[in-house]
Structure 1
Amino acid sequence: MKASPLAAAIAAALACPAVHVPAALAQESIGAPVVVTATRQKQRADEVIASIEVIDRETIERAGQSSLVDLLQSLTGVRIATSGGPGANASMFLRGAESRHTLLLVDGLRVGSATSGQATLEAIPLAMVERIEILRGPASALYGSEAIGGVIQIFTRRGREGLHPELFVGIGGYDTVNASASLNGGQGALRYSLSVGQDDSKGYSAKRNRPQWHSSWGSSYHPDRDGFRNRYASASATVDLRERDRFGVHAFATDGRNHYDTNDYYRSYLDKQVDSAGAWLQNELGQGWTSTVRIGQSRDRLHNVTDDTNRNRIRSTQQQFQWQHDVRLPVGSLMAAYEYVRARVGGDTDYVVDKRDVHAFLLGWSGSFDAHSLQLNLRHDDNSQFGSKTTGMFGYGFRISPQWRVHASVATAFNAPTFNQLYWPDTGFGGGNPDLEPEHALNREIGLRWDDGTHHVELTYYNNRVRDLIAGWPPQNLNRARLEGIELAWQANLAGYDLRAGVDVLDAKDERSGNRLPRRAKLAGFARIERIADRWSWGVEWDGQGKRYEDTANTLELAGYGLIHAYAHYRLAPDWRVELRANNLLDKRYELSRGYATAGANLFAGIRYTPR
């Protein structure tokens, strides 16, 4: 019997000394913020050349957001469009790139649909998230395809010394009920974590109710409520085998159903099941030499029921293997890695080709000396469908003074066509195009940071040119896009108040037509003031964006908007805390996608029990 490529790769790796796990490294950070997504190695956030943002568990709980999509929506450089209420399909445009151009990693593994190429952000519940790292800008030299716009890496809950149970129950507008329970702990060499929960909401009508017929909308009377339900669980464990060796396992699974509008007579729904499981082994082979091997699999399964006769099941699986060495040098550190991914698709749709293999080799070096910082990355991907692609990144930083730092970088990136774009069957309205080529990008950026211990300011200019952009149906490599922008972020801690604000200006255009890319506002921003005390905390937020266009011809305009939210926490007793959040206080009516409704003013209240 012939061994599969994955089995052969595993056997070869286990016969050698083992390697590194980015997710495992992030768990060890103490003191100053430490990130791993920017270089695939541990690095202080203030030494990173790339633009990166970190959201920790404490911030997630204080914000009181009910979903990952809501949390990401106000971040600098992020534009999000949703097709309805809670749990509806969400498209994220990071620095103006297409939604399929942002790579989603969960605990170091790729998670998302191989058929559409889109990350199912709406399926990831915040209750199981420990930490999020958002890397803005192309990162194919580190992660390969899908990273033209950037990378979002999510780390699920992790264990710590002792025994730490937690219970949470919350209720809110649109008949929303969220409940979760977690247990994390550890003793001696063992650390473990377990989280379970369910989010339910009856929601509101996904489509905006309008007269029976409108020339721009068609029939759009949908009086029903389109609800959402998501059940989930996650687990992880790590054990120190010897003084320098560690072993870990991790898994999560979500099972959701989202109702949506297609016509006036049937309640259509979409079942989404997303899961991932992996194991890793980390060895310290010598002084400053760490080696980690990781194996895992992620799955994305959809069951779309339009009516009694129209049903479609789609599933995709990504089997993954990673092997990485990190070597600390007299100056900086060296990273060398091998990755293997086998993607499979199936279901009711008959794809002519239903799998592809990717083998990748990558090298990286990053380090600082005197006032200088450098980052070099090179990656070679061998794709069974398209052949070879090589991408690179060069970054340089210079500390002008203890407070001021300037940095610049140039990077190339690519994105492989999805299975739908390549092999979707021709149903009479066109089908996939097997002759498609990958999309390519060249990004240049320069930035300035200032930090005096009280204030932190970061200004970044970027220019990302994307060619061979896939568009139309049947899809073709037709377009060239220019994604150019300026990001400005500020934060400070003054007199016990935490202040944050950000604004970004984005010029995302189709270079052939000169039109702006759909659903991407030219101007967006946010502001927040927060007060944290021993027993209570409160905050007020504002976020908004300017006008956008729904279509490529720029004829259907989406108006700009600004929203105000507020939240507060109060500790009733050492183990009990009440949490409140009021969204859209002024009850603004706005759209993220033309024709689809968004939430009005609503309140969410919860109670959290955390024994000390």
Structure 2
Amino acid sequence: MKIRLSALVSACALAYPFVPAQADDAQLGHVVVTATRQPITADEALASVDVIDRDEIARAGNATLVQLLSSRPGVQVASNGGPGSSSSVYLRGANSGHTLLLIDGVRVGSATSGSPTLENLPLELIDRIEILRGPASALYGSDAIGGVIQVFTRKGREGFQPSVRAGVGTDGARTLGATLAGGVERLRYNVSAGSERSDGIDAKPKSTRGSDRDDDGFRNEYFSGSVSLGFRDADEIGLTVLHSDMRNWYDNAKVFNSYLDKRTDSLGLHMRNQITADWTSTLRFGYGADESHNYSDRNAKSTFETAQRQFTWQHDIALGVGSLLAAYEYLEQEVDSTADYDKTQRHTNSVLLGWSGQFDRHHLQVNARHDEDSQFGSKTTGALAYGYRLTPEWRARASIGTAFKAPTFNDLYFPFSGNPNLKPEEALNREAGLVWERGGTSLSATYFNNRIKNLIAWAPVNPADPMGDWAPANVAEASIQGVELAASTMLWDYRVRASIDFLDTEDEETGDELGRRARIGGSLGIERATGPWTWGMEWNAQGRRYDRIPNNAANRMGGYGLLNAYVHYALAPDWSVEVRANNLLDKDYELAQNYGTQGANAFVAVRYAMH
């Protein structure tokens, strides 16, 4: 490893006095479900979990979900151009396909590319986001090697709360959205719809090809809805739905105005029944769809569609000490494409067990899961986490867990190059952390070490003939270690939050760093609310990194720091104005080599929301 552990420890000692928490005081009271599949408060979680609530989402202006995630601890991103362009998210340095995306508990993503599509999920539909960093296959199965991002759409509450939001900004940005939400007695409902558009920026500003010399914008039309009905004391049935339809233009060597249509759909139906005072049963049906239609030529179109059908029956049982989790899951994945795959469907049957409990100063969580896949066979994963409260302010925790990712349909069955004999990618993660909390101040430090084997990479079919045919093979390994430091406090009347990440990634075969992952990054945020005004500033930075392997000067991308500011003014109880300015210093930087990013930009919106 290129970063020695002693160097990381020294960095912790230097940074810790200035950098407090895993979550601020408000976040410590958040109820989260992703860390255990059961509702707990954030300060009870033994895993590293981060929550972005509705207030923070509203302050993001016209930012995309990918841009919002990029400011969180342990998250790095790459984009092939401006907002709306194809993007990748790296949790704790793991590959982009090692992040599981859930929308209201429903698995959504591409089974062909193997990565979730995050850039077309509009923030206006989202109530909160939970980011679980670290392996979670023992809870969720395949894909969760780096972690889980769960998006919760907006829900209704008692009363009637209509809202309308309209905004304009630089680069031709404009947005319009409306929501009808409310509830009466045990009925809750929410319907949201809108559109967002931008003329964009030149995705490849350094290119000299004529067809690349244009701005590449996007448009996104979306809606979501939810309805739930409670009956008896704690029983409930509910429905959630989300649809997003985005078109993103991109640069192409052949023609002007090449574009990519991306659609995401999520449908969830659940029924929760309290069998006894200590036993709750939840039945859930989910449908997730990911579509990509690429119009790269005037006369050509390529299509990749994924449909995921899911059924879950989960039982939560309160015991004398702790609580028991038991569940059965069925997942069916089906793809459709202009490419002629050898197989287009597979299914997985899964069972999982878990227990978590607190006694005296001790906190323990144990999870195990067995997945039986129709393609590669069976896989068993597990996780063990332990926490100990040293004093009323100090908590220590440690965990170990395994995870895996099933091969994609592209890896297995793509015409003329698929390898149906591939095994799942596997990971073993170990981590330890320390948390300090007092009043409105919190501090945390976490060290993690993740070793990934059987990574799928292109290799010669015949090792003795490197000039012959190549195909995907389980030939690569990677090691990832790092330290996450975070903090939050009230300093006079200012809320201050900060984080810094040290990351060491290594391709075990070449010794190179993994592509598009910086060795150091961090963020600093300051906010103050006084009367009708709320204002704040943010600084987000990433160190230098390489676009890909090999790590040579030609593939090197420099570091950057972005300064942003925002103001929120309440004109009246139901009216407000939002102003946000990003990249105030007009920094020129890259998230992917030779692709452009936005310079200084601003956005202004007016919102009406009945309270």
TM range (shorter): over 0.9
- The residue identity in structure 1 corresponding to 2:129 is I
1:229 to 216, 219, 225: 219
**Contact 1:209–1:220 at 8 Å: present in 2 too?**
no
User: Equivalent residues in 2 for 1:332-347 (5 A)?
Assistant: 332-347=322-337
After TM superposition, give the deviation of residue 241 of structure 1 in Å: 2.5
Q: CA separation of 1:207/1:456 partners in 2, compared to 1, >3 Å: closer, same or farther? A: same
- Are 1:281 and 2:309 an aligned pair? no
After TM superposition, give the deviation of residue 221 of structure 1 in Å: 7.0
**Contact 1:209–1:223 at 8 Å: present in 2 too?**
no
2:430 equivalent in structure 1: 444
- Aligned mates of 2:525, 2:502 — CA distance in 1: 19
User: Equivalent residues in 2 for 1:296-375 (5 A)?
Assistant: 296-375=286-365
User: Equivalent residues in 2 for 1:345-424 (5 A)?
Assistant: 345-424=335-414
Q: CA separation of 1:70/1:181 partners in 2, compared to 1, >3 Å: closer, same or farther? A: same
Q: Deviations over 1:289-335 (max 9, x none)?
A: 11000012111111100011221111110000011000011111000
2:199 equivalent in structure 1: 202
2:253 to 263, 266, 271: 263
User: Equivalent residues in 2 for 1:93-108 (5 A)?
Assistant: 93-108=90-105
- The residue identity in structure 1 corresponding to 2:186 is A
2:234 equivalent in structure 1: 244
- Aligned mates of 1:65, 1:51 — CA distance in 2: 28
**Contact 1:516–1:554 at 8 Å: present in 2 too?**
yes
2:594 equivalent in structure 1: 595
After TM superposition, give the deviation of residue 276 of structure 1 in Å: 1.1
CA RMSD of aligned residues (A): 1.3
After TM superposition, give the deviation of residue 513 of structure 1 in Å: 1.1
SS at match of 1:63: coil
SS at match of 2:143: coil
Q: CA separation of 1:524/1:30 partners in 2, compared to 1, >3 Å: closer, same or farther? A: closer
Q: Deviations over 1:385-417 (max 9, x none)?
A: 010000000000000001000000000011001
1:455 equivalent in structure 2: 441
Q: CA separation of 1:424/1:31 partners in 2, compared to 1, >3 Å: closer, same or farther? A: closer
- Aligned mates of 2:27, 2:184 — CA distance in 1: 19
SS at match of 1:306: strand
1:484 to 476, 481, 484: 481
**Contact 1:463–1:483 at 8 Å: present in 2 too?**
yes
- The residue identity in structure 2 corresponding to 1:265 is V
2:11 equivalent in structure 1: none
2:14 equivalent in structure 1: none
**Contact 1:445–1:463 at 8 Å: present in 2 too?**
yes
- Are 1:434 and 2:431 an aligned pair? no
- Aligned mates of 2:443, 2:546 — CA distance in 1: 31
- The residue identity in structure 2 corresponding to 1:385 is Q
Q: CA separation of 1:30/1:52 partners in 2, compared to 1, >3 Å: closer, same or farther? A: closer
SS at match of 2:412: helix
**Contact 1:54–1:134 at 8 Å: present in 2 too?**
yes
**Contact 1:65–1:71 at 8 Å: present in 2 too?**
no
1:586 equivalent in structure 2: 585
- The residue identity in structure 1 corresponding to 2:451 is R
- Aligned mates of 1:486, 1:221 — CA distance in 2: 44
User: Equivalent residues in 2 for 1:488-527 (5 A)?
Assistant: 488-527=485-524
User: Equivalent residues in 2 for 1:72-87 (5 A)?
Assistant: 72-87=69-84
SS at match of 2:488: strand
2:190 to 185, 189, 193: 193
Query: 5+ unaligned residues in a row in structure 2: which ranges?
Result: 1-25, 459-469
- Aligned mates of 2:82, 2:182 — CA distance in 1: 36
After TM superposition, give the deviation of residue 30 of structure 1 in Å: 12
- Aligned mates of 1:299, 1:486 — CA distance in 2: 35
Q: TM-score, normalised by structure 2?
A: 0.92
Q: Deviations over 1:572-607 (max 9, x none)?
A: 111110000000000000000001000000110000
Q: CA separation of 1:471/1:31 partners in 2, compared to 1, >3 Å: closer, same or farther? A: closer
**Contact 1:222–1:264 at 8 Å: present in 2 too?**
no
SS at match of 1:265: coil
1:136 equivalent in structure 2: 133
After TM superposition, give the deviation of residue 436 of structure 1 in Å: 1.2
1:559 equivalent in structure 2: 558
**Contact 2:164–2:178 at 8 Å: present in 1 too?**
yes
- The residue identity in structure 1 corresponding to 2:218 is F
2:462 equivalent in structure 1: none
**Contact 1:103–1:151 at 8 Å: present in 2 too?**
yes
- Aligned mates of 1:220, 1:468 — CA distance in 2: 42
After TM superposition, give the deviation of residue 220 of structure 1 in Å: 8.0
**Contact 1:267–1:307 at 8 Å: present in 2 too?**
no
After TM superposition, give the deviation of residue 267 of structure 1 in Å: 1.4
2:467 equivalent in structure 1: none
- Aligned mates of 2:28, 2:346 — CA distance in 1: 42
User: Equivalent residues in 2 for 1:563-582 (5 A)?
Assistant: 563-582=562-581
Q: Deviations over 1:47-93 (max 9, x none)?
A: 11000001111121123352101100111111100011121111011
- The residue identity in structure 2 corresponding to 1:541 is E
1:469 equivalent in structure 2: 455
**Contact 1:103–1:147 at 8 Å: present in 2 too?**
yes
Q: Deviations over 1:238-270 (max 9, x none)?
A: 001322321001101011100001126321100
**Contact 1:141–1:391 at 8 Å: present in 2 too?**
yes
- Aligned mates of 2:484, 2:50 — CA distance in 1: 13
SS at match of 1:591: coil
- The residue identity in structure 2 corresponding to 1:423 is Y
- Aligned mates of 1:250, 1:265 — CA distance in 2: 40
After TM superposition, give the deviation of residue 347 of structure 1 in Å: 2.2
- Are 1:177 and 2:177 an aligned pair? no
SS at match of 1:520: coil
Equivalent residues, number: 573
SS at match of 1:60: helix
1:19 equivalent in structure 2: none
2:57 equivalent in structure 1: 60
SS at match of 1:122: coil
